[in-house]
Amino acid sequence: MPADDPKTLVSTDWLAAHLKDPDLRVIDASYYLPDMGRDAKAEYDAGHIPGARFFDIDEISDSASALPHMAPPIEKFMSRMRAMGVGDGHQVVVYDGAGLFSAARVWWLFKLMGKTDVAVLDGGLPKWRAEGREIEDMPPVVKDRHMTAQRQAHLVKDVTQVAAAAKLGDWQIVDARSPARFRGEEPEPREGLRAGHIPGSLNVHYATLLNEDGTLKRAADLRAAFEQAGVDLDRRIVTTCGSGVTAAILFLGLELLGHRDVALYDGSWSEWGQFEQLKVETG
């Protein structure tokens, strides 16, 4: 696995060694699609890494948007984090119950808000449990902590910007959905969406970046996954997926490869797939 980096990715060994650090905050960012048949909050209540706070991706979002879990306004993010006892000067580690599915989304949200001391737990809760490490079912004792944030607008793209990128070709658009969904061969899990992909986009299924145990692959293998899909790692990239969750896994992989000119299309296919005036490719 990649070396421990408190700004991107840390191992279970690293977290175990730092778990009692006074300025460490652990966040359970578990989230599941309806067809997964899992209840993230119920699983958190039943058992989580000691001290972990639960981050509700659907609630800590832009309630003014009809799209699923869009990035929240900066004021809402700061108030929710303050109430969770997460603030300035904290090292944050984010995990999820799938290994690596939704944790990268919350890592990206922190980056979007200008917070850089945040890492994803490699392998997440499954790896932590498999190693027989401590689990608790008690909610953490939370003390308010002031948080300042500054939105980093260059890390996110809206539909107008992505449409321009697709037309001009000045950004590569890389889609994290499965090959069958990308090609339009299977229906979208959300109703009312067309099948297919953004014209000119490339497909790097997020699962190709992961080992069987949910940990991220080594840098050489990450690089190969992108290059085999035709991605030029020297050019600008917009990551996209179904609703902006697994697109963050591609973002994390690119960050680990040292790629700094990356943005995430927050609306992703939940937005693009519903508007007839936006062109769609299949195959």
176 is catalytic: no
Sheet holding 172-175, edge to edge: 156-157, 262-265, 237-240, 172-175, 202-203
Catalytic residue among 238, 241, 250, 254: 241
**Hey, is 156 helix, strand or coil?**
strand
| CA distance linking residue 78 with residue 149, whole number of Å | 7
Residue-level length of the chain: 283
Q: Which of 182, 204, 172 is nearest to 272 (CA)?
A: 182
Six-digit token pair at 244? 């902006």
CB burial string 95-130: b at 16+ within 10 A, e below: bbbbbbbbbbbbbbbbbbbebebbbbbbbbbbbbee
* CB-side neighbour CA atoms (13 Å) of 211: 14
Catalytic residue numbers read: 241
